[in-house]
Structure 1
Amino acid sequence: MSTLTVNEQQRRKIATQCGFIAALDQSGGSTPTALHAYGIDDGAWSTEEEMFALVHRMRTRIVTSPCFNGDRVFGAILFEGTMDRQIEGQLAADYLWGRKRVVPFLKVDKGLADQRDGARLMKPIPGLDDLLDKANAKGIFGTKMRSVILQADPVGIAAIVDQQLDLAVRILDAGLMPIVEPEVDIHCPEKGSAETLLRAALLAALERLPADQQLMLKLTLPEQNGLYADLVAHSQVLKVVALSGGYARSEGNLRLCRNPGVVASFSRALVEGLSARQSDADFDATLDESIQAIFEASMT
């Protein structure tokens, strides 16, 4: 039997295992879109609670599928409502780690502020310390928080990185692993330039972390192949993962293959082709094909 703590086992899994993270963290604004893609129309729910119950049913079908396990999917990002719900009689995080050996993360941001200097920072996160305490109590390993870069504006990019790193330090102090996600919108007119500015800002910001601290980065698949190699190799970065960002799975996987050391953290691209109307056999076969394709692209 391993003498490592659960936290140490989970950290080692992320650091050393081939695989990727399933982003299952759609929240209020993005949930209808996720349900529509899954073949469930607006008329299927009349209240927010009914909507979230439907998306929880979809997520439960994904994570309980025989093909979804820690052999290829080493992590999953949840939103708070999922963390509070059960899967097959267990709290979601306990089920993911105990039954599937999938490391659970929690989305902690509360959405995006209005655009300024070509960027959308995160809205304030009231009650963050209480949420982090709750995450610790419910078996969560780490967190994720998203902001968006819309233009290659150094002022806006610096503001996003500063906000992300300030929050990352608070999350580390709470004993959780932060995934910093400064997404560059794939429709940014100077996407390559924005990514170059972001890379420089992140490398500079990492110097502010205590030498014994690590974080994770979730970044848009870049225009320049291998752009984030220095971040992949950085001693204070546990893992660099990539969001699909609106790219179809085939395009996302192609871009992923061109960026060695970066692995997927896909959401829409992961569930592409899944439908509430599929039989269990067809659903599992479609999900297995998706997982395998993303897994192979993440192994480069």
Structure 2
Amino acid sequence: MSATMPDLLLNPASTAQALPYPALAEAIESLLKDPSVQVPPRIVQPLPAGGSLFVMPACDARLAITKLISFVPTNPGRGLPTIQGDIVVFDSVSGRRIALLDGPTVTARRTAAVSLLAAQKLAPNRLGPLLIVGAGVQGLAHLEAFHAGLGVKEVWVNSRSERSAHALMAHAQTLGMRAHHAPDPNAALARCPLVVSCTPAQQVVLNAMPRPDAFVAAVGAFTPRMVEWQADTCRRLATEGTVLVDTRDADHEAGDLLQAGIEVAQLPTLADLIQGRAAWSGRAQRPQGPVFFKSCGWAGWDLAAARCVMKLN
């Protein structure tokens, strides 16, 4: 990288434009194969009013990043985003800052791209229909990611807010998709082989078993206290299907699984899948029963996004 290259200061729209979902999923897969990647544990600082401040560094042989974001679940009542902050990108060799990316945009898109990559590798029925439970920022990102990366053409949407559900359905229709309201998410599980749960995770929303051919991306609960899926259902998924997590950080963060008493540290990760360490990594050895992919977040995904922006895959 040139020492005279100017900083990239990207606003939310420019950040999104630089991170198309299929390319971002490829960048994440590439990162999981790169032995130079280093990601220390993230720092989570509780804030006085119930929010959290996240400090998340990562680096590889070419780039280093620090993600600095706040998460305040009560912010919608203030008319503010739940997640705010930035990602600073540095040249790993010179230490010079080379880019500043919009943190909430990267968070939304890289989270959905991680789910997309897992679905590309493991979903038995990649065409859907797709059920989205939670019609917020992550619901929108996953809708776009699964449409762009899997070709999904039909979606069912559930949300605590009927207005939010219909807004996401309207967006799906602008993409040429068929969209339906799902008042009961548990009933909708029977018709949808692709499922994304991305609620605020303050209480159990899903207690039915997904279809035997289902792929589930469980995104909403990313701390030990958060939960979307009933404990009994998680235990059944662990015995009748296949459960994997995004990274080993989920060992102490995957609220749904931890509250179900599941030994998360014994579960395979997305890296195990990509690097061929999972018993069912090959296409001819797809796991049996529903696949439950628990995603908690990792600074490595933000590093992959920075590599995608800088076109360094």
Please give the TM-score of this superposition, normalised by the length of structure 2: 0.29
Q: Which structure shows the higher helix fraction?
A: 1
Please give the TM-score of this superposition, normalised by the length of structure 1: 0.30
